[in-house]
Amino acid sequence: MTDSLTAHVEKQPTGQTQQPPVHTQQPPVHTQPTDAHENHLTTWQLWVRRPQRLWLRRALFQVHLWVGIGLGLYVLVISISGSLVVYRPQLSKKFSRAVIILTPSAARLTSAQQEENARRLYSGYQVDSVFESRRSDRPSTIVLERGHNRIARLFNPYTGADLGDPLSRAQRIVEWLVDLHDNLLLGTTGRLLNGLAAILVTLLALTGVVLWWPGIKNWRRSLVINWKTNLSRVNWDLHSAVGIWCVLFVLLWGVSGIYFTFPQTVTRVLGDGVVASLVRYHFGRMGWASRPIWTILGLAPAFLFVTGALMWWNRVLRKHFPPRATRAR
């Protein structure tokens, strides 16, 4: 073998030496094997392995995005007010006004006389109802209306004197928050809007579950937050992880919100027992320990809106609003 190689070299022209051929085995090149393989996967197999490739998921992403943006302010208001009114009974009791004790006399005004007295003192108002206490030493409560304005006043049933608002200022603030949460301060119209928005909140929760699923290989990683990466990725992880951990609570509040507007329809679908549980869990009526938990969990929808808005900013809007230093160049 050596002699043959030497002879071969000696036959080359002067100044030129032919090197022995070097054979290196190159690995076979495969062009997009994954794509070719995935083209033969069923829809279910794609959902399990690579859900990002499904057109339905991309369509649901657009639904989730624009419904979330459209409901943003509503979600903030309902989320924050709901967390506060969890303590409505305790706040009302703590800040209730002092009990008024009267000195009864023989000449007690009749209900009709009390109504006439209230209309005289509040010109332009119509009396909606008169509530007379069973105790002779307690004032009557009269509710008056003028247009959309509705007020309640305490009256002395013996002298007809106006004794003021039955609620303290702090109680009025609490009741204002309750009305904001229940009716958006718009009466029956607000209650209807609340029910329609609750349907969309339920849709957000359901589409959020679909969008959260990252594939069979990565689902555990999507349950936690990686604090060591950049801020945009941390925000993404926060939205994804908090969303999936709180999705059952968001669904609970969404479905029970639909019930408060359309009680008969929801009761026919779910039954009385399920509805009773929905109402109980909506308000966190499971004892004193549930109230602080519900207060924190009630802020989850607001948190998800904020992180979702930041994701939209980072991925879409930010490129249209470059920093001033970049624009200056």
**Is the separation of the CB atoms in 102 and 137 below 8 Å?**
yes
Mean pLDDT of the chain: 86
Find where tokens 């509503």 sit.
74
Give me the amino acid identity at 1.
M
110-124: average pLDDT: 94
Say what the pLDDT of residue 1 is: 46
Write the pLDDT tens digit of every residue in 121-161: 999 999 999 999 999 999 999 999 998 888 999 999 999 99
Q: Per-residue confidence at 287, pLDDT binned at 50, 70, 90?
A: confident
- Band of pLDDT at residue 32, cut at 50, 70 and 90: very low
What's the pLDDT at 3?
47
pLDDT at 135 (0 to 100)? 92
Q: What distance in Å separates the CA atoms of residue 117 and residue 161, rounded to the nearest whole number?
A: 9
CA 173/CA 165 separation, integer angstroms: 13
For residue 6 the two structure tokens come to: 């030497």
Q: What is the mean pLDDT of residues 162-189?
A: 94
> pLDDT tens digits, residue range 192-225?
999 999 999 999 999 999 999 999 998 999 999 9
Q: What is the 3-state secondary structure (H, E, C) of 141-165?
A: EEEEEECCEEEEEEECCCCCCEEEC
The whole-number pLDDT of residue 244 equals 96
Return the closest-CA partner of residue 168 out of 154, 155, 181, 158: 154
As given in the structure block, the two tokens for residue 322 are: 């470059």
Average pLDDT estimate for 80-106: 91
Q: Which comes out higher in pLDDT, residue 69 or 325?
A: 69
Kindly list the domain boundaries of the chain, sorted by start residue. 56-90+180-315, 99-166
User: Which positions ≥6 away from 193 have C-beta within 8 Å?
Assistant: 184, 186
pLDDT of residue 44: 87
pLDDT band with cut points at 50, 70 and 90 for residue 38: low
Residue-level pLDDT at 329:
54
Q: Residue 285: which pLDDT band, with cuts at 50, 70 and 90? A: confident
| pLDDT for res 35 | 53
For 222-262, what is each residue's pLDDT tens digit? 999 999 989 999 999 999 999 999 999 999 999 999 999 99
Q: Supply the pLDDT for residue 10.
A: 40
pLDDT of residue 269: 95
Going by pLDDT thresholds of 50, 70 and 90, the confidence category of residue 15 is very low
Q: Distance between CA atoms of 123 and 137, rounded to whole angstroms?
A: 27
Residue 5 in this model has a pLDDT that exceeds 50 = no
- pLDDT tens for residues 48-59? 888 988 999 999
**What pLDDT is stored for residue 152 in this prediction?**
94
pLDDT over 80 at 317, yes or no: no
Whole-structure pTM over 0.95, yes or no? Answer: no
Percent of the chain with pLDDT over 90: 70
Say what the pLDDT of residue 105 is.
84
Query: What pLDDT, on a 0 to 100 scale, did the predictor assign at position 9?
Result: 40
